[in-house]
Amino acid sequence: MTNAQSDTQAPASFITVDGLTKRFGDTVALNDVDLRLDKGETLAIIGPSAAGKSVLMKCIVGIYGADSGSIILNGDDVSKPNAEARPEWASQIGMLFQQNALFDSLTVWENICFRQIEAGTMSRDDAKAHAIDLLGHVGLAEESAVLKPNDLSGGMQKRVGIARAISSDPALLLLDNPTAGLDPVLSNHIELMIAKIAKQRGTTVISITNDMQIARHRYQNLMMMHDGKVYWSGPTSAIDDAHNEHLTQMLNGSAQGPISMRAGKRNDGVYA
């Protein structure tokens, strides 16, 4: 979109979140959050429940509008979800939801290419072929294309969710707990698959995870959130063992941790 601009401005990062604040009623879900990533970088967000991780993602993808602050993606401020350019911004972002949120009313292939079908950028036959191609990328057989999401197992649904997220070849991939509810073998497999896809396509990845080890070893950057604030952020290479223990303790809510961990609840009844 604004390639010419980013060429001239030398160190313009791919995504810059600056002073992002989001409230739900009296509850502050995000409080002055900053974030900066270059193209192709990966970031793991870690933190206890109700820390604001999912809210941050939903702000970036445009489900929630920001109360203050800005989200600059590729030179555009995408923090105003009602803008006319919204569909175009959305096509640059692929998001995997925690519960997959596949559309039960549509088949697997329609789910994967819903965006293209609705925008009219692909014929239905092309979309189906594209979806089958993507199913191959996420390790699913062609036959599953015509099934309904309800006919699939949890792991298969997760793969379809990933296929949908990458179907428009987005420059930014948002993954909300991609391995939640999966067994260790499968979650390892999914993590490897995501890493491979991201590397092949040069995709910038932001992923929410609960596993400090995965965050440390599979991602270049780490951001730890608590109570809507960024508690720590930096490259994972900067985390030495002592530091790691400190952060892990905090995450696990040990008594000696710097912040007492309690499961919070937003006033709209949604656990973030």
By CB under 8 A, name the binding residues for another protein. 58, 61-63, 81, 86-91, 93, 95, 97, 99, 101-106, 114-115, 118-120, 122-126, 148, 150-151, 164
**Tokens describing residue 57:** 């993602």
Complex with another protein: residue 61 or 140, whichever CB lies closer: 61
* Beta carbon of residue 118, minimum distance to another protein (angstroms, whole number): 6
* Beta carbon of residue 152, minimum distance to another protein (angstroms, whole number): 12
Complex with another protein: residue 53 or 226, whichever CB lies closer: 53
* Beta carbon of residue 184, minimum distance to another protein (angstroms, whole number): 25
Q: Residue 238: CA atoms inside 13 Å, Cβ hemisphere, count?
A: 7
H or E stretch covering 185: helix 184-201
d(CA 204, CA 17): 14
Complex with another protein: residue 97 or 219, whichever CB lies closer: 97
**Tokens describing residue 110:** 């329609």
Complex with another protein: residue 203 or 222, whichever CB lies closer: 203
Residue with tokens 């979309």: 127
Complex with another protein: residue 174 or 224, whichever CB lies closer: 174
* Beta carbon of residue 266, minimum distance to another protein (angstroms, whole number): 13
d(CA 124, CA 114): 10
* Beta carbon of residue 99, minimum distance to another protein (angstroms, whole number): 6
d(CA 111, CA 57): 21
Number of residues that make up the chain: 272
Closest by Cα among 131, 49, 31, 34 to 98: 49
* Beta carbon of residue 88, minimum distance to another protein (angstroms, whole number): 8
**Beta carbons within 10 angstroms of residue 71's beta carbon:** 23
Complex with another protein: residue 75 or 81, whichever CB lies closer: 81
